[in-house]
Amino acid sequence: MEIYNTEEQQVEAIKKFWKDNGMAIVVGAVLGLGGLWGWRYYNETKFAGQEQASAQYEQAISSLEAGNDLSKVSEFIQTHSDNSYAVLAALQAAQKAVDADNLTEAADKLRWAAEHAEVDAVAAVANLRLARIQIQQAEYDNALSTLDKVSGDAFVAQVQEFKGDVYRLQGHVDKARAAYSAALEKNSGNNLLKMKLDNLSAAATAGA
């Protein structure tokens, strides 16, 4: 199941956002979900003095990477709920839950991460991933509500594309076409998005 099959677009969008705001190094940390060096650097520059939380975080993630057991990560998140490491741990736990086809657990972790993220771009990442899962679970109204929480020009294309997916699945062809078109205005080089819009038009013509 390819829940995160547009990750490269998401990475580029967030990189652009943080580059515009002079915080590109944070992006490297946020997106480096397999590279702890980025978060060590982020810890040194943004969370100096949290060596204990850092060590416990790495232990929890090491345990997570060794298997699909989320218990140690969940315990870490609960213990350090007021620490930004907990948000990162929740994002990684959500990825692992998706890999294990446990979408309910993944959604719970992403929802928690979005609610506790101190950086708007990180909250946007969590909400976008949550919306993907909600679409996969046919929770269309919830997905639209989640997407409405995502702000920032760098995320407009993805938000509109996901809304287009929802509207298409709901049978709202005109709304889907408008959403896909709005997404293409922001990301004209997305061939998959163009295909979605073309297929929508073809389906509408065939049904006429």
CA dihedral over 43, 119, 13, 60, signed as positive or negative: positive
Q: What is the pLDDT of residue 58?
A: 78
Q: What does the block give as tokens for 91?
A: 């994002």
Is the model more confident about 76 or about 155? 155
What is the C-alpha separation between 104 and 19, in angstroms, rounded? 33
- Buried b / exposed e over 181-200, threshold 16 CB at 10 Å, is ebbbebbeebeebeebbeeb
Q: What is the pLDDT of residue 115?
A: 95
Start and end residues for every CATH 1.25.40 domain found in the chain: 7-151
Is the model more confident about 140 or about 74? 140
Which range (153-162, 175-184, 197-206) has the least confidence? Answer: 197-206
Angle at 156 between CA 23 and CA 127, to 5 degrees: 75
Closest by CA to 146, choosing from 182, 114, 183, is 114
pLDDT band at 200 (very low <50, low <70, confident <90, very high): confident
CB 128 within 8 A of CB 159: yes
Q: What is the pLDDT of residue 20?
A: 55
pTM here is: 0.73
pLDDT band at 27 (very low <50, low <70, confident <90, very high): very low
CATH number, domain 7-151: 1.25.40
Q: What is the pLDDT of residue 108?
A: 96
